[in-house]
Structure 1
Amino acid sequence: MINMTSNYISRISHYLRYVTVKGKAIWILAFCSFLSGLNAVNAIFLSVTLGIEDTFQPILIGSLIGSIPVYVYLILSVFVTFLFLGATYVSLVTELSNKELLNEINAKVATIENGQKLQQKVLESLQARVFLVDESVNSMRKEVARAFAKQEEDLKQVQANLTKNQSNLAKKIDSDLDAVKGEMSEQMNKQSEEIEKTNTNLANLFSENLAEVKDELAGQLVRLAGTLESQERRARKSEKAILNQEKEIAEIKTKIERVEDEFVPPKPLLTSQCKVEDVRGIGENTGNELREIGIADVGEFVLTDSNVIADKIDMSEKTVEKLQGRAQLAMIPGLKEKDLVLLEEAEVMNRKELASQDPIELGKKINGIARIQFQEKKISEAEIPTIEEVYAWIKAAKA
Structure 2
Amino acid sequence: MISKRGIIVWISAFVTFLAIMASFSMAVLLVNEGAGAIVTPYILGNIAGALSVEIYLWMSITFTFIFLGITCILIYLKQPPDPEIVKLLLKVGGNLAALRKTQENSITEIAEQIEYGRKINQKFFSTVSSDLKEDKKETMEILANHRKAFKKVRTDLISTIETKATETGEKMSADLKKQETVMLGVKRLSEEGTTDLKNQRAELEEIKLRLERIEGNMVPNQANLKSLDNPEDIKGIGPALGKELRTLGVTSVGDFLTTDPSVIGEKTRISKEMAENLQASAQLMMIPGVDSNDAELLIESGIKSRKELAAHELIQLSRRVGEIAKIYVDQGKISKEDYPTIEEISAWIRNAR
TM-score by length of 2: 0.50
Partner of 2:308: 355
1:250 maps to 2:198: no
Amino acid at match of 1:298: V
1:365 maps to 2:316: no
CA distance in 1 between counterparts of 2:319 and 2:208 reads 27
Q: How far did residue 194 of structure 1 move?
A: 1.1
Contact 1:273–1:298 under 8 Å retained in 2: yes
Which runs of no fewer than 5 residues in structure 1 stay unpaired? 1-148
Q: How far did residue 304 of structure 1 move?
A: 6.6
With 239-248 and 353-362 compared, the bigger mean Cα shift is at 353-362
Contact 2:284–2:290 under 8 Å retained in 1: no
Partner of 1:274: 229
Partner of 1:336: 290
Contact 1:326–1:349 under 8 Å retained in 2: no
Partner of 2:142: 183
Contact 1:342–1:369 under 8 Å retained in 2: no
Deviations 1:301-343 (A, max 9, x none): 44374535752xxx78887665544323212x22333xx5245
Q: How far did residue 214 of structure 1 move?
A: 0.7
Contact 2:284–2:306 under 8 Å retained in 1: no
Partner of 1:39: none
Change (3 A) 1:267 1:207: closer
Change (3 A) 1:252 1:176: same
Q: How far did residue 257 of structure 1 move?
A: 1.9
CA distance in 2 between counterparts of 1:164 and 1:310 reads 123
What is the percentage of aligned positions where both structures have the same residue?
16
Change (3 A) 1:310 1:292: closer
1:226 maps to 2:185: yes
1:215 maps to 2:174: yes
SS of equivalent to 2:305: helix
Change (3 A) 1:380 1:323: closer
CA distance in 2 between counterparts of 1:276 and 1:202 reads 85
Q: How far did residue 368 of structure 1 move?
A: 6.4
SS of equivalent to 1:378: helix
CA distance in 1 between counterparts of 2:339 and 2:207 reads 12
Q: How far did residue 229 of structure 1 move?
A: 1.8
Q: How far did residue 186 of structure 1 move?
A: 0.8
Deviations 1:118-139 (A, max 9, x none): xxxxxxxxxxxxxxxxxxxxxx
Which runs of no fewer than 5 residues in structure 2 stay unpaired? 1-105, 330-334
Deviations 1:236-255 (A, max 9, x none): 22222222222232233223
Contact 2:224–2:285 under 8 Å retained in 1: yes
CA distance in 2 between counterparts of 1:307 and 1:248 reads 51
Matches within 5 A, 1:279-358: 279-280=234-235, 286-287=238-239, 290-291=242-243, 294=246, 295-302=250-257, 303=259, 305=261, 307-308=265-266, 311=269, 323-331=278-286, 333-337=287-291, 340-345=292-297, 347-348=300-301, 351-352=304-305, 355=308, 358=312
Q: How far did residue 276 of structure 1 move?
A: 3.4
1:197 maps to 2:156: yes
Tell me how large the CA RMSD over aligned residues is. Answer: 4.3
CA distance in 2 between counterparts of 1:321 and 1:173 reads 117
Q: How far did residue 386 of structure 1 move?
A: 5.3
Q: Given the alignment, which residue of 216, 227, 240 partners 2:199?
A: 240
CA distance in 2 between counterparts of 1:316 and 1:166 reads 119
Change (3 A) 1:292 1:301: same
Contact 2:231–2:252 under 8 Å retained in 1: yes
Amino acid at match of 1:275: N
Contact 2:301–2:321 under 8 Å retained in 1: no
Change (3 A) 1:318 1:251: farther
1:391 maps to 2:343: no
CA distance in 2 between counterparts of 1:162 and 1:354 reads 133
SS of equivalent to 1:211: helix
